[in-house]
Amino acid sequence: MCVPYPGPMTQWFTESFRSEFEKQASQLGRFNLALFGKTGVGKSTLVNAVFGADVAATGVGAPVTLTSHLYLDTRGTLGLVDTRGLEIGKDDKELVAELTKVVRDMRKQRLEDQIHVAWYCVRGLDRRFEDAEAAFIRKLDELGIPVILVMTQVPMRDGLFHPDALELARQIEQRNLPIVENRVFMTFARRDQFTGQSPYGLMELLRATFLVAPDAVHGALAAAQTIDMAAKARAARAHIGATVAGAGAAAASPIPFSAAAILVPLQLAMMGRIAQLYNIKFEKAALLAIASTSAATSLGRTTVANLVKLVPGAGTVAGGVINAGVASTFTYAMGEAWLAVCQRASGGKLPMVNGVVDSKAVRDLFMTEFGKRLPSIKRPEDAPR
């Protein structure tokens, strides 16, 4: 890959970006989802469909033992709390006792170490929902955990749910359980190759999860899930907006990625956060960032110079106002351009050369998006007199 900076500059940029990238991972925290339901209802399939292939099966490293039968698997911004060795309806007292202890201990810890939402899963064609399950859901509610009741593996034909699943949902809803939206969420997580049944219901389930999850973990949830790209984009643009505001307030120099030492950490942090939201690993994100921002610096110097020439008394109070505006504009343009790069990278849509992402294509994409968001610059001789 062609590196646009001399060696020392590339090293400085990479290490600075690494620092901000890791800070953003820490600030995003983790969304913790508890999974409950009888054995074989399809919890793992459902989680993998929403959060990526084999998430439920693999995790990262060894699961953390919470109690004898409760475990926490973590994968970046996602934590999964699950039961092992106990069956709801048979071992309720033991499970409730362990869960109560875990939740109370978690309340003393940081928000990212607490359980945020529970999915209670029922298989659509099981045809029965036991009193013990209802009691367990009420206990979750008593512990302050929002419960989404998910019906899994529900066949659908011509837009109609299987009648047995509808009847089971009706019976559950008649119990007036403390469940989100007072209803059952029908789902089919993975395409059935034999019947041709397509997945459905996942986006609606994710929407409900966002609705009841604490606001502080929405960024982690947006990063962890893999089905709603609009949610990732919304989270990214919210962070771009916050960074733009910070850049305007902090600007002492108007040229990003050169003399504006105050702006560099803000912009690197913004890029790190967006890369985290799109689950781009550091090594790849750093290479994309280097390829993206090199041309922006040169264009930034030219644009700022032209703007300053249009302002009487540049460098005084008026110049300071323009500087803050330029800093905000450039930060916004860089954020949106970097978002476009990350979206393409996440979707595997960046051109490759010999197995490596084409840095020129990345740079061209970044600069095209960057240029779309810059103000039109008049020549100094065209300025009003």
What's the confidence (pLDDT) of residue 375? 63
**Nearest CA-CA partner of 268 in 257, 279, 259, 282:** 257
What's the confidence (pLDDT) of residue 221? 97
Could you read off the pLDDT of 209-220 as tens digits, one per residue? 999 999 999 999
Average of per-residue pLDDT across 344-355: 90
Average of per-residue pLDDT across 311-337: 65
Has residue 355 got a pLDDT over 60? yes
Q: Comparing 68 with 268, which gets the higher pLDDT? A: 268
The tokens describing 17, both together, are 């970006």
Report how far residue 116's alpha carbon sits from residue 236's, in angstroms, rounded to the nearest whole number: 22
Residue 327 near residue 334, CB atoms below 8 Å: no
Average of per-residue pLDDT across 60-64: 56
User: Model-level pTM?
Assistant: 0.84
Confidence of residue 366 (pLDDT cuts 50, 70, 90): very high
Query: How many angstroms separate the Cα of 161 from the Cα of each of 37, 154, 186, 199, 352?
Result: 21, 7, 8, 13, 44
Could you read off the pLDDT of 96-117 as tens digits, one per residue? 898 999 999 999 999 999 999 9
Query: How many angstroms separate the Cα of 251 from the Cα of each of 67, 117, 130, 171, 323?
Result: 51, 40, 62, 61, 7
Least reliable range by pLDDT among 21-25, 256-260, 349-353: 256-260
What's the confidence (pLDDT) of residue 254? 47
Average of per-residue pLDDT across 310-320: 40
Q: Comparing 146 with 2, which gets the higher pLDDT? A: 146
Confidence of residue 297 (pLDDT cuts 50, 70, 90): low
Average of per-residue pLDDT across 267-291: 94
Written as one letter, the residue type at 200 is Y
Least reliable range by pLDDT among 47-51, 127-131, 173-177, 271-275: 127-131
Least reliable range by pLDDT among 36-40, 223-227, 360-364: 36-40
Average pLDDT, the chain: 83
What's the confidence (pLDDT) of residue 240? 96
Strongest mean pLDDT among 299-313, 317-331, 353-367: 353-367
**Nearest CA-CA partner of 136 in 38, 31, 32:** 38
| Structure-token match 């305007």, residue found | 248
Report how far residue 281's alpha carbon sits from residue 2's, in angstroms, rounded to the nearest whole number: 20
Has residue 194 got a pLDDT over 90? no
What's the confidence (pLDDT) of residue 315? 43
Domains and CATH numbers, the chain: 30-214 (3.40.50.300), 228-382 (no CATH)
Residue 224 near residue 38, CB atoms below 8 Å: no
What's the confidence (pLDDT) of residue 377? 40
Has residue 379 got a pLDDT over 60? no
Has residue 92 got a pLDDT over 80? no
Query: How many angstroms separate the Cα of 246 from the Cα of each of 143, 210, 236, 264?
Result: 39, 27, 15, 12
Average of per-residue pLDDT across 311-324: 45
Confidence of residue 57 (pLDDT cuts 50, 70, 90): low
Average of per-residue pLDDT across 76-80: 94
Average of per-residue pLDDT across 151-157: 94
| Structure-token match 């810890």, residue found | 109
| Structure-token match 């007036």, residue found | 176
Confidence of residue 12 (pLDDT cuts 50, 70, 90): confident
Task: Write out the chain in H/E/C secondary structure.
Answer: CCCCCCHHHHHHHHHHHHHHHHHHHHHHCCEEEEEEECCCCCHHHHHHHHHCCCHHHHCCCCCEECCCCEEEEEECCEEEEEECCCCCCCCHHHHHHHHHHHHHHHCCCCHHHCCCEEEEEEECCCCCCCHHHHHHHHHHHHCCCCEEEEEECCCEECCEECHHHHHHHHHHHCCCCCCHHHCEEECECCCCCCCCCCCECHHHHHHHHHHHCCHHHHHHHHHHCCCCHHHHHHHHHHHHHHHHHHHHHHCCCCCCCCCCCCHHHHHHHHHHHHHHHCCCCHHHHHHHHHHHHHHHHHHHHHHHHHHHHCCCCCCCHHHHHHHHHHHHHHHHHHHHHHHHHHHHHHCCCCCEECCEECHHHHHHHHHHHHHHCCCCCCCHHHCCC
Sign of CA dihedral 157, 158, 160, 164: negative
Other beta carbons within 10 angstroms of residue 33's beta carbon come to 22
